[in-house]
Amino acid sequence: MSKSSPTFSKGGIHPRESKELTEHLPIEAMPPPEEVDILLLQHFGSPCRVLVDKKATVIEGETIGVVDAGLGASVHSSVSGTVKSIGASPHPVRVEAPSVTIRRDPQAEPKVFTPSEWEHFSPEELLEKIRNAGLVGLGGAGFPTHLKLSPPPGTRLDKLILNAAECEPYLNCDNRTMIEFPHEILTGARIILRILGIKECHIGIENNKQEAIWVLSRAAAESTAPDCKISVNPLMVKYPQGSEKQLIQTITGRRVPYPGLPFDVGVMVINVGTAKTIHDAVVLEKPLYERVVTISGRAIARPANLMVRIGTRLSDIVTFLGGTMDNLARIVVGGPMMGFSIPTTDLPVMKTTSGVLFLSDDEIDSRPHGPCIRCGKCVEVCSMGLSPNEVGIYVEAGRARDTAQFGVFECFECGACAFVCPAKRPLVQFTRLAKAKARK
Amino acid sequence: MIPPAWSVSISPHLKSTESVEKIMWTVVACLIPSLILSVFVFGLRALIIAAISTASCVAVEAATQKLLKRPVTVRDGSAVITGLLLAFCIPPGVPLWMPIPGAIMAIYVAKHLLGGIGFNIFNPALIGRAFLVATFPVAMTSAWLAPIHDAAVFGSLGGIDAVSTATPLYVLKHYGMNAVIERFGAPSTLYWDFFVGWRPGCIGETSALLLTLGGLYLMLRRYISWHIPVATVLSVGFFSWVFGGEKLFTGDPVLAVLSGGVILGAFFMATDYVTSPNGNAAKLVFGAGVGALTVLIRLKGGYPEGVCYAILLMNPLSPALEGWFKPKRFAPPKGATT
Ligand code: SF4
Ligand code: SF4
C-alpha cells in the first residue's frame, strides 16, 4: 500500500477490510432459484406500475414494470416462468415494497444475447437503450442511469470518473467485475463519453486492488479507442474514498460545495459496475436483471462473489452457499460501514444490492454507548470537516432542531465518526435524527 | 413470525476496537511506573497515600452515581485516574486522611455535580488539589520529604527516617538559583537528579523520565496528540528563560521544565479529553496558555508552583478555543456561518 497515492484532504479512517474473504474468488453464476420476488421499487424515485397480470407467462428479460412519470427505472423479469402473485416483499430501507413473484419454468431455454455495433447509434439512441434496460447506479441509492446521463441543458462537463474505489470493507463485487470484465467496462466508459460529448475518463481504484489496477491499465493501454483518453488512477486506501465528493477532490482537486452536484464542477461520476451494465444494455441490449453480489462475513459457510438474478431471496442464497454459522450476529445488506442490517432473509436481491454480509458476533460490536468523553476522534476523522460530537450532544439534549448550524446536511452518513468513537456513540443515528428534525 | 436471532442496528456495523475503558486503563498503566519510583524515593508512604486517594475516588464515584441514580461506571477507570493524579500532586508527608476530602471535592463536586464524565469543566483531580491547598495550606505546601538515599525504603512507613525538606522551586523562588545549586548540587547533577526523579516534590511529579515515557506511549497509541504537551513544555521553558532570571533572558529553562509538576501536568493533566479542546490549533494555544500562566504564577503568585492553577485557568477556555479554531468544513454552502 503506497502512501504516495493521492487521497482526499481531510479525515478518513482505515477499518479492517476483510476483503481477503472473497477477493480471489471468481464470479460464480448462481443457478436461478425456483421463485423470484421482483421489487417494483429498486431505485431512487417512485414505484413502477406493473405490466403483467397474475398467471401471465413471462420470459427472461421481459419488462414487467415501468415508471410513467418522474424519477424511476423499469424492472424486468429475471427468469422465464409464470407470475405467481403480485403483492409485497420486504425491502431493506422501506420495510416493505410492492413486488411481483415469478415461478420459474425449469424447461425454459436460457436467453442468448448477440452483440451489436454500438458505434452507429446516436447519443439519444444510446440513452434510450439504457433507459429500456432499466439501469440504475449499482453503487448506492440507485439513481436511474439514463437520468444521470442527461444533465440539465447548459451543463459543461469535461471529465468522467468511474468510481472503482470500493472503499467499503468486505465488498469485492466491483473488484471482481474489473478483473473479469475490463473490456466491457472500457466500452461502457466510451459509451458514456459519447453520450456526454466529452473525451476524458479517469478510473479511480484504491491501491488494495492491485490486480484490478493492472488488468484495467493493460486493457486501457491496448484499446484503440479513437480520440478519447481513459486512464487508471490508483488511490490511497482510505475510507470513504468512494464518496463522490471525496473522489472528485482526489482526482481533480475540485470541491463540490453543498448542496451542489458533481456536474456543477464539470464532472460526472459513474460506478464502475454500472459502466459494465451500460455496455450490456447497449451492446447486448440486455436489461439489468442480474448482478454481482459479494456474499461474505465470518458467519456464512462459504463466502462468494455470485452472479445473482434480481429477485433471488437471500434465504435461497444462504442455502446455495451451505448455510450460516451458529455465531451469526447480524445480517447486513451493502457494506459494513453504510449498509442496512435486516431482520429477515426473505428479502430479495435488488439492483443496488452490492453485498450481503453475515457477520459473526466477534465481527460486530454491540456494546451499549456511553457519554461523549470529548476525545475529539470523531472530529479528526470526519472528511466533511464536521463536529459529530456536538450534533450528538444536541440531539441527546433534545435540541436536534438547532443543529443545522453544524452542517448536518453535509454529512453523507459514511459512519467514520461512529466507527472511531471509543464511547460507541451512535453518531450516524444522531445525525439522521438531527436532519429529520432540522428539516421540519 | 419467529423473532430473528440476529440483531438489527444502525450503520456502521463495524466499530474500532478502542473503548473508553481501554483508554482509561492504559493511562493508569502509564502512571504506575512513576508511582513505583515514588515509593523508592519517598518510602511506602507514597504508595499508601496513592491507595487511599484512589480508593476514595472510586468509592465517592460509586456512591455519587448511586445517589444520583446514574449507572455506576467505576470500572471504566476514570475515577482511578483521578485518584492517582490527585495523589500525584500532593506532598508525600501529608497526613494519611488528606486525600479523602480531596477525592470528595474532585469526584462529587467537580465531576458529578457538573454533569458527570464529558460535562465537567475543570479537571477533577486538580480541583481536588486546589481545594486541599486552600483548606490545608500548611500541610500541602510543606510536607515534603527528602529522597531516601539508603536501603531503608520498605523498612519505614515514611516520616521516621525521612526528613522534611523544601522543594527546589521553593528554594528558587525565595533564595535564588545559587541557593538551589548549593542545596541540590551542581547543574549537571541537578538536571540529572531531577530528570530521573531523585528530588523532593509531590508524589508523582518527580521523574521527568518516567512521566515522559508514559506520555510518549500514550502518543504512540494515539490516545493523546503531541500538541498540548509540547506546547506546554516549550512555553514554560521559553517564558522561564525570558523572565525567570535576574535579568531578561537569563532564566534556566531546563530547571523550570524539570521541576514542579510541568511534565506531569503537560502529559497527563492538560491533555484530559473532557477539559481540553479538540483540534490541533486549539490544543497548541491551550498548551501555550498553560505554560505562560504557569510561569506567571511561579514568578508573581504566592505559590512556588503554578501548573495546577494554570491548567484550571485554561480549562474553561476550552470551548471558546474550540469555537475559534473550528475544523474547516469540506465545502460548505456559500455564506455558511461556520
Ligand atoms: S458520518 Fe457524517 S459526520 Fe460522521 S464522519 Fe461521515 S460525514 Fe462526518
Ligand atoms: S469520538 Fe465519541 S467520545 Fe470522542 S468526541 Fe466524538 S462522540 Fe465524543
Residue A20 DSSP symbol: G
Residue A13 DSSP symbol: B
CB within 8 Å: A330 and B20: no
CB within 8 Å: A371 and B118: yes
Predicted local confidence at residue A71, as pLDDT: 84
Q: Where are the alpha helices (DSSP H) in A253-404?
A: 272-279, 314-320, 377-381, 388-396
Domain range annotation of chain B: 20-142, 207-324
Dist. CA B128–CA A281, nearest whole Å: 72
Dist. CA A355–CA B319, nearest whole Å: 42
* Residue B154 touches partner A, C-beta closer than 8 Å: no
| CA-only gyration radius of chain B, Å | 21
Centroid of ligand 2 to alpha carbon of B292 (angstroms): 29
* Residues in a beta bridge with A38: A100
Residue B163 has pLDDT above 70, yes or no: no
Instruction: Give the HSE-up count for residue A402: Cα atoms under 13 Å, Cβ half-sphere.
Output: 9
Centroid of ligand 1 to alpha carbon of A430 (angstroms): 11
- Pair A415, A382: CB distance under 8 Å: no
Instruction: Give the HSE-up count for residue A121: Cα atoms under 13 Å, Cβ half-sphere.
Output: 20
Closest protein CA for atom 4 of ligand 1:
A417
Exposed/middle/buried for A223, CB within 10 Å: 0-12, 13-18, 19+? middle
Quote the CATH superfamily of domain A118-284. Answer: NADH-ubiquinone oxidoreductase 51kDa subunit (3.40.50.11540)
**Pocket residues for ligand 1 (CB within 6 Å)?**
A 381-382, 384, 386, 388, 411-417, 427-428, 431
| B329/chain A closest Cα distance in angstroms | 4
Given pLDDT bands bounded at 50, 70 and 90, which one contains residue A2? Answer: very low
- Cell numbers standing for residue A146: 439514463
| pLDDT, averaged across chain B | 89
Dist. CA B105–CA A369, nearest whole Å: 27
* Residue B327 touches partner A, C-beta closer than 8 Å: yes
Dist. CA A8–CA A167, nearest whole Å: 13
Q: Which residue of B has its CA nearest to A254?
A: B331
Given pLDDT bands bounded at 50, 70 and 90, which one contains residue A4? Answer: low
Short-list A418, A371, A379, A369, CA closest to A397: A371
* Residues in a beta bridge with A89: A97
Q: Is A420 helix (H, G, I), strand (E, B) or coil?
A: helix
Grid-cell match 523508592, residue found? B40
Higher per-residue pLDDT: B129 or B178: B129
Given pLDDT bands bounded at 50, 70 and 90, which one contains residue B171? Answer: confident
To test ligand 1's pocket by mutation, which of A427, A429, A432, A435 has the most ligand atoms within 8 angstroms of CB? Answer: A427
Q: Answer yes or no: is A411 a known binding residue.
A: yes
Mean pLDDT value across residues A198-217 = 96
Single-letter code of the amino acid located at B94: V
CB within 8 Å: A385 and B118: no
pLDDT cut 90: percent of chain B above it: 65
Dist. CA B251–CA B236, nearest whole Å: 11
Residues of chain A with CATH 3.40.50.11540: 118-284
What number of residues does chain A have? Answer: 440
* Residue B19 touches partner A, C-beta closer than 8 Å: yes
Dist. CA A101–CA A85, nearest whole Å: 5
Short-list A191, A341, A173, CA closest to A281: A191
Residue A236 has pLDDT above 60, yes or no: yes
Predicted local confidence at residue B151, as pLDDT: 42
Q: How far is CA A169 from CA A18, A19, A189, B32, B190, in A?
A: 6, 6, 25, 38, 55
Mean pLDDT value across residues A72-77 = 94
Mean pLDDT value across residues A275-284 = 97
B-proximal residues of A, 344-403, CB under 8 Å: 344, 357, 359, 363-367, 370-377, 379-380, 382-387, 389
Given pLDDT bands bounded at 50, 70 and 90, which one contains residue B156? Answer: very low
CB within 8 Å: B6 and A385: no
Greatest mean pLDDT among A93-102, A349-358, B7-16, B159-168 lies in: A349-358
Single-letter code of the amino acid located at A72: G
* Residues in a beta bridge with A305: A294
Higher per-residue pLDDT: B150 or B337: B337
Predicted local confidence at residue A180, as pLDDT: 98
Kindly report, residue by residue over A166-191, the tens digit of the pLDDT.
Answer: 999 999 999 999 999 999 999 999 99
Q: How far is CA B36 from CA A130, B64, B204, in A?
A: 73, 30, 9
Predicted local confidence at residue B213, as pLDDT: 97
pLDDT cut 90: percent of chain A above it: 83
| CATH topology for the A32-105+288-363 domain | Ubiquitin-like (UB roll) (3.10.20)
| pLDDT, averaged across chain A | 93
A-proximal residues of B, 91-130, CB under 8 Å: 116-119
Cα four-point dihedral sign B215, B216, B220, B226: positive
Q: What is the ipTM of this complex?
A: 0.90
Q: Is A365 helix (H, G, I), strand (E, B) or coil?
A: coil
Q: For residue A389, which atom of ligand 2 is closest to its CA?
A: 7
Dist. CA A390–CA B33, nearest whole Å: 36
Provide the edge-to-edge strand list for the sheet that holds A200-206.
Answer: A229-235, A200-206, A159-164, A267-271
**Angle between helices B177-184 and B187-196 in degrees, nearest 10:** 70
Short-list A405, A403, A389, A410, CA closest to A433: A403
Mean pLDDT value across residues A225-253 = 93
With residue B292 as reference, give the H or E element that holds it.
Answer: helix B280-300
Predicted local confidence at residue B152, as pLDDT: 46
Dist. CA B204–CA A73, nearest whole Å: 69
Mean pLDDT value across residues B306-332 = 93
Centroid of ligand 2 to alpha carbon of A415 (angstroms): 13
* Residue A92 touches partner B, C-beta closer than 8 Å: no
- Pair B228, B283: CB distance under 8 Å: yes
CB within 8 Å: A257 and B333: yes
**How far from each other are the two terminal CA atoms of chain A, in whole angstroms?**
45
Long-range pairs, A260-266, Cβ under 8 A, ≥24: A260/B331, A263/A151, A263/A152, A263/A155, A263/A157, A266/A156, A266/A157, A266/A158, A266/A159
* Residue A127 touches partner B, C-beta closer than 8 Å: no
- Cell numbers standing for residue A326: 451458529
Dist. CA B116–CA A167, nearest whole Å: 38
Closest protein CA for atom 8 of ligand 1:
A382
Kindly report, residue by residue over B276-314, the tens digit of the pLDDT.
Answer: 999 999 999 999 999 999 999 999 987 778 999 999 999
CB within 8 Å: B15 and A337: no
Other CB atoms within a 10 A radius of the CB of residue B174 amount to 10
Exposed/middle/buried for A303, CB within 10 Å: 0-12, 13-18, 19+? buried
Mean pLDDT value across residues A139-167 = 92
CB within 8 Å: A373 and B118: yes
Closest protein CA for atom 3 of ligand 2:
A372
Single-letter code of the amino acid located at A35: E
* Residue B76 touches partner A, C-beta closer than 8 Å: yes
Q: Answer yes or no: is A228 a known binding residue.
A: no
Kindly report, residue by residue over A22-64, the tens digit of the pLDDT.
Answer: 999 999 999 999 999 999 998 777 889 999 999 999 999 999 9
Q: Is A82 helix (H, G, I), strand (E, B) or coil?
A: strand
Centroid of ligand 1 to alpha carbon of B161 (angstroms): 60
Given pLDDT bands bounded at 50, 70 and 90, which one contains residue B159? Answer: very low
